[in-house]
Amino acid sequence: MTRLPKIDMAEVTRLTREGRLRDAMAMLRGAQVDAPAAPGSAHDAEPTPSGGTSRVLDMQPPDPHTGGAWTAPESDGDPAPAERTSGHRSGVAAPKIPEALRGVLGRMKQRLAGRMPGRRTGFPIDRAPVALPEGARFEEHRYTAAAGTLAYKLYIPSGYRGQPLPLVVMLHGCNQSPDDFADGTRMNSLAEQKQLLVAYPEQSLSSSAMKCWSWFSPEDQQRGRGEPALIAGITREIIRDYAVDPDRVYIAGLSAGGAAAAIMGATYPDLYAAIGVHSGLAYGAADDMPSALVAMHQGGASPDTSRHRYQGSDGKAPLVPTIVFHGDGDTTVNPVNADQVIVGTPGVARLRKTLVQGESAGGIRYTRSLYADENGRTQLEQWILHGAGHAWSGGSSDGSYTEPRGPDASREMLRFFMEHPRTAAP
């Protein structure tokens, strides 16, 4: 994959603060920007082609009448018909900055000016409650601690009778809700089949107008602080209030939720036996909004995050079994981030890599990389989905940001999780 030029983020930040978003975008594309803009010139925030603020995620919803997958947006010029219908862009070596970043930069300007807009700029997707099997429950809860308050929903399968069950914590992407994420991933249906509990923490609108997890904030990258403390608190509350097998507690997420799941694996490896990162970023990929934009576009800067990683009794950060999914046609989060999730895992250098090629029933080809220890147990697993965009692979079009044609990420994550109880971890 072609690496994009290094970007002077200090200059991008300066241009953003001055409202010169066109120049900031040009610099993010690698262009040289020299002359300052005259006061009142046409360097102010530019609207999206539709006249509004674009989405953080780079997908458009299916037709309400015909259904189908979420698809990549139309941008500059009229894309080929295949691009409009397939949900990806093929044959692109280095995708240009996604339209979504223009909206993010616009919101950066509004933040800096103290005018962060409310829900009108990015409506979280609210859906009807999911249908439940007889005897199953999808409960609403609220957790409060020193770090703040988070609502969450908990799926309890109909077969739960107080016996210890595995627990999977699912972190939604921007603009999503627990019900929407449950619909799109089909995780509740799998939980009913396999008998496990599933929790869906919900980011609050007071923290993010687009309900994005703050994966780029240093406050929210540390154990015992910010969002990690709240998500861990929710997990422990469920373990306390329900019968949960403590050796089978897992966490996964999409996009910003995938980046947050990586943070939870790095800061609470004593709580989560394995993690799943779908279309997300590595722990420590960014430490503010400008570096988050760069990480999304060309990969993180690999900062030193060792001081914040949880250290075991031997003084070393443990390897947490991790499964990664990412489309190589993703124009919102550069797929190089999928490699950085793997490379940034402690102990990866000791693992042996094996490649497996395949194709889903829906026609999405993939490359699956397995990283095994000296005993032959796969500790890391990466799925690169060829041509797929920024969407949950194998998901349902009943939910947002899904690619139904891909391999079933939910089922594969659960398979990987069940192969990695804590007692079997290295």
pLDDT of residue 423: 78
Rounded to the nearest angstrom, the gap between the alpha carbon of residue 335 and the centroid of all alpha carbons in its chain is 12
Contact 234, 202 (CB under 8 A): no
Question: What is the enclosing helix (H) or strand (E) of 104?
Answer: helix 99-112
Domain ranges for the chain, please list them. 7-33+41-46+96-117, 142-424
Q: Which amino acid is at 258?
A: G
C-alpha span between 89 and 133 (Å, rounded): 38
Out of 3.30.450.90, 1.10.10.410, 3.40.50.1820, 3.60.20.10, which CATH number does the structure's domain 142-424 have?
A: 3.40.50.1820
Which residues are 153's β-sheet partners?
A: 140, 200
Reading the chain (426 residues) residue by residue, the pLDDT tens digits are: 444 445 565 666 566 555 555 566 566 656 666 655 444 433 333 333 333 333 334 444 445 444 444 444 443 333 333 332 333 333 333 334 444 454 554 444 344 333 332 222 334 455 566 679 999 999 999 999 999 999 999 999 999 999 999 999 999 999 999 999 999 999 999 999 999 999 999 999 999 999 999 999 999 999 999 999 999 999 999 999 999 999 999 999 999 999 999 999 999 999 999 999 999 999 999 999 999 999 999 998 765 555 578 777 777 889 999 999 999 999 999 999 999 999 999 999 999 999 999 999 999 999 999 999 999 999 999 999 999 999 999 999 999 999 999 999 999 999 999 999 987 544
pLDDT of residue 41: 38
Contact 18, 86 (CB under 8 A): no
Structure tokens that stand for 64 in this block: 């309400």
pLDDT of residue 340: 96
Q: Packing angle between helix 289-298 and helix 336-343, nearest 10 degrees? A: 100
pLDDT of residue 342: 96
C-alpha span between 160 and 262 (Å, rounded): 29
Three-state DSSP class for 379? strand
Find the radius of gyration of the CA atoms of the chain: 21
Contact 274, 299 (CB under 8 A): no
pLDDT of residue 123: 44
Closest CA relative to residue 277, chosen from 170, 167, 424 = 170
Helices (H), 313-419: 336-343, 409-418
C-alpha span between 209 and 211 (Å, rounded): 6
Give the 3-state secondary structure percentages of the chain, helix then strand then coil, rounded to 5.
30, 20, 50
Question: What is the enclosing helix (H) or strand (E) of 133?
Answer: none
